[in-house]
Amino acid sequence: MDFRQHYSGSTGNLYTVEHNGERILIEAGVPIDRIREATDFSLYNYSGCLITHEHKDHSKAAKGVIMAGVPVYTSQGTIVANDERLPGVAVIAPRCVFHVGPFTILPFETEHDAAEPLGFLIHAGEDKLLFATDTYFVRYRFKGITQIAIECNWSEETLADDIDPSHMERLRRSHMSLERLKKMLAANDLGKVREIHLLHISRSNGDKRMFVDEIQKVTGIPTYCLES
């Protein structure tokens, strides 16, 4: 599978996954025009769009994606919490496998201040992609994963000096820190993992180069983030 980050962060999220010419979107958190541009104006080639939760930096263009003919998959909680009610969305449930084209997808619960947030284990061919963002930890353990795309939002070492205490409390209860990510990776089977992608790195409380270097050092696995 080929995983790509197009937009990642609090201003909007969009990712794509491709396997043997079949494609899906993950998140629709930027305007539909940007999604069209990121997909080379070929949204009709995408079999579906997975949305993790209702916050607008992940779901704002869901209606536009549906209108473009791409089915959207998300939890019942996300649908109810979304202001537009996301008509025509396919409801998925934690730990209930479903299929989109050649992709076998297992949603699982994540830990965020949202109605019913999800992460995804995506299986196609010999590859298994673990995708989790906007979660301060991952309660499950995974075997046989080949790629990881996961949030690394902040670190105790990189917190802004003037961070508001209420914002600090939200970070601790809704976003993955570098320290927690290292513990999560150590608890999982990384024997087949070829690459790690760090998502949703905070501009004010994170350090992209430090995070990439640290995760690559402790795992020995090539690690990437969105540079722009």
**Domains of the chain by range and CATH?**
2-225 (3.60.15.10)
pLDDT at position 23 is: 98
pLDDT digits (tens, 9 = 90+) for 57-67: 999 999 999 99
Nearest-CA neighbor of 171 among 189, 153, 145?
A: 153
d(CA 127, CA 118): 20
Distance CA 43, CA 47 (A): 9
Of 85, 174, 190, 89, residue with least CA distance to 134: 174
CB 28 within 8 A of CB 140: no
C-alpha angle 24-123-219 in degrees, rounded to nearest 5? 105
Closest CA to 197 of 224, 159, 166: 224
- What's the average pLDDT block by block, 10 residues per block, for the chain (228 residues)? 97 97 98 98 96 96 95 95 79 98 98 96 98 96 97 94 85 92 97 98 95 98 92
What local confidence, expressed as pLDDT, does residue 202 receive? Answer: 94
Q: For residue 87, what pLDDT is reported?
A: 75
What local confidence, expressed as pLDDT, does residue 168 receive?
Answer: 84
Six token digits for residue 147: 């790629």
Return the pLDDT at 25: 98
Cα–Cα distances (Å) from 52 to 9, 116, 192, 199, in that order, read 14, 8, 25, 13
What confidence score (pLDDT) does residue 172 get? 86
Q: How far is CA 27 from CA 58, 149, 194, 203, in A?
A: 5, 13, 23, 20
**pTM score, whole prediction:** 0.96
The reported pLDDT for the residue numbered 84 is: 66
Name the maximum alpha-carbon separation found in the chain.
48
